[in-house]
A = this chain, B = another copy of it.
């Protein structure tokens, strides 16, 4: 690689940042149908950019849901490897808006960070890839390897249509390996290779009681309160020692070896208390917070509601109550089976006097682990180190990227997780941000990596 690529990135810093801000300003919230136009706007931004860089066969693929952007670069010749680059242009909702210090869709820089919804997850990281491709094309006139681009708009809502497309268009998306930048480093400027991710599944429980909200004086004592019933159901699913008490939940989970416990212990990781503001950490009985987060399955209530939520008092018995639950899974757990166990448990403990419905999260994913000694992983680690000037660490993490599991299952190809986020990025929360350092050194890492990969 000529130094021209790096110089180009440096010379064009301000212009690239402006262009990134333009991308981040599009509120491409996938879960909310009110943002349908914004979703298209974000997809169009990418297709236009790919066109300007010089990609070919650019398609805004209709998926039945939000469009998927596909493109190819075949100029490296048949001898060069082909990478499938995956990312997503959709973002989480920004609410509660009042907790943001600046507009989530008016990016701004404070304390050397870019504040905006999607700055870290994942529009910022997608943009870095496109900018590096641009730098290669504008300086060397070509990319060091062939590229297939797959940038979807439904990651935050389960990637349902991507799942179908990866199966249906297997040939189109087939590559020698995949690269995904939708994850993070254990701390700022600490090169990090993720070698394990958790799987994922979920259910939504709705308890239906009376057919309308009731006056608590007239009917209190005669009917089951749906919120109380739901509290009893949830309490029966995880105990106060943070152990999931759904029968069979832990079946097949690999015991955590002393070696792996040591490895986890060695990762500095973040100070959970400081990062989250909780009075103290709490984790599964017998495991540290770090062990539980990285290597043990979890069960979380993501949201719950029923009855009166306004100012003051409203003396009613609500007609219904709902809880949204997701679990993060580890190797050995089958998501569909876990979902089945959760549903059976809920049905078994559902009390008299109410009707309980369980809606299964449509898409689930198994956990993922890759061999940290694979050549493509080693080259990624070396590129990281060159750009950041620091040894790379290897970790497992609590997050789930379903597409990783699917790509592995469908294409049997190695997947390299090159993430540049940091623990302070507040993904999915108000005030999401991404360090400028990650933005610039991350692009440098990618520039090195594409060069390394084709260096036999």
A32 touches B308 (CB 8 A): no
Count of chain A residues with a beta carbon within 8 Å of a chain B beta carbon: 101
Pick the contact of A328: B217, B298, B304, B307 (CB < 8 A). Answer: B217
CB-nearest residue of chain B relative to A297?
B221
B272 touches A219 (CB 8 A): yes
A414 at the interface (CB under 8 A from B): no
Pick the contact of A300: B211, B216, B242, B322 (CB < 8 A). Answer: B216
A210 touches B276 (CB 8 A): yes
A423 at the interface (CB under 8 A from B): yes
Interface centre among A93, A200, A316 (most CB of B within 10 A): A316
B310 touches A278 (CB 8 A): no
A225 touches B427 (CB 8 A): no
A230 touches B232 (CB 8 A): no
A63 at the interface (CB under 8 A from B): no
CB 8 Å contact bits of A294-311 with B (1 = contact, 0 = none): 101010111111111111
CB-nearest residue of chain B relative to A291?
B221
A400 touches B312 (CB 8 A): no
Instruction: Give bound CA distance, A447 to B305, whole Å.
Output: 47
* A306: B residues at CB distance < 8 A: 301, 303-305
A289 touches B231 (CB 8 A): no
CB-nearest residue of chain B relative to A92?
B314
Known contacts A157-B313, A213-B428, A216-B328; A278/B398 CB under 8 A? no
A324 touches B308 (CB 8 A): yes
How distant is A239 from chain B, measured CB to nearest CB, in Å? 8
Pick the contact of A234: B211, B224, B231, B242 (CB < 8 A). Answer: B231
Interface pairs (25), CB distance under 8 Å: A93-B314, A95-B310, A211-B276, A212-B430, A213-B429, A217-B328, A218-B293, A218-B427, A219-B272, A219-B275, A220-B398, A221-B289, A221-B296, A223-B281, A224-B278, A227-B234, A231-B232, A231-B234, A279-B353, A282-B352, A301-B306, A302-B313, A303-B314, A304-B304, A315-B428
Q: Taking A221-B284, A222-B292 as given, write out 10 further A-B residue pairs in contact, using a Cβ cutoff of 8 Å, ordered by the A residue number.
A: A31-B311, A198-B217, A212-B277, A214-B428, A218-B399, A220-B328, A221-B293, A225-B301, A228-B235, A279-B353
Show the binding face of A for B, using Cβ within 8 Å.
Answer: 31-33, 92-93, 95, 99, 157-158, 198, 200, 202, 209-225, 227-228, 230-232, 234-235, 238, 240, 242, 272, 275-284, 287, 289-294, 296, 298, 300-318, 321-324, 326, 328, 351-355, 361, 397-400, 423, 426-431
